Amino acid sequence: MKVAAGRTGGRRVARPPAGNKYSATAKTDQNEDGVGQGPNKPKRGSAFEKLQREREAKNVEEDLERDDEERQERKQIRQEEREERQREREKARGQEESSQ
């Protein structure tokens, strides 16, 4: 490690890589994409809100579809149970008739 001469107060400070002058001029106190700054802030907020509304609407739609599928499944199960009871009754009648 190279030691930077100058105002380091005796501390060892690593130098930036050779040929990299960007790090010396970069402003580190700025956001990378400027989110929440300037006139774009309300637009970003409304875009986010729009996205949230779209997601909520999609979730509601998916919930309704899932509810409908579950309702159809329960209906099918009830129908199958009715048919099974009907077959059992017919089987019981057939056994009664054959025993008489």
pLDDT tens-digit series, residues 4-41: 555 666 667 666 666 656 555 555 555 555 555 565 55
pTM for this structure? 0.45
Could you tell me if residue 27 is inside a domain? Answer: no
User: Rounded to an integer, what distance in angstroms lies between the CA atom of residue 46 and that of residue 23?
Assistant: 35
Q: How far is CA 98 from CA 12, 65, 90, 93, in A?
A: 105, 50, 12, 9
User: Which among 23, 2, 24, 21 is positioned nearest to 13, based on CA atoms?
Assistant: 2
42-94 tens-digit pLDDT: 566 788 899 999 999 999 999 999 999 999 999 999 999 999 999 999 999 88
* Any domain includes 50: yes
Domain span holding position 53? 41-99
Q: What is the per-residue pLDDT for 47? A: 86
Is 19 inside any structural domain? no
| Residue 9 belongs to a domain | no
Say how many domains are in the chain.
1
Structural domain includes residue 68? yes
35 is a domain residue: no
Residue 76 lies in a domain: yes
In a domain, 12, yes or no: no
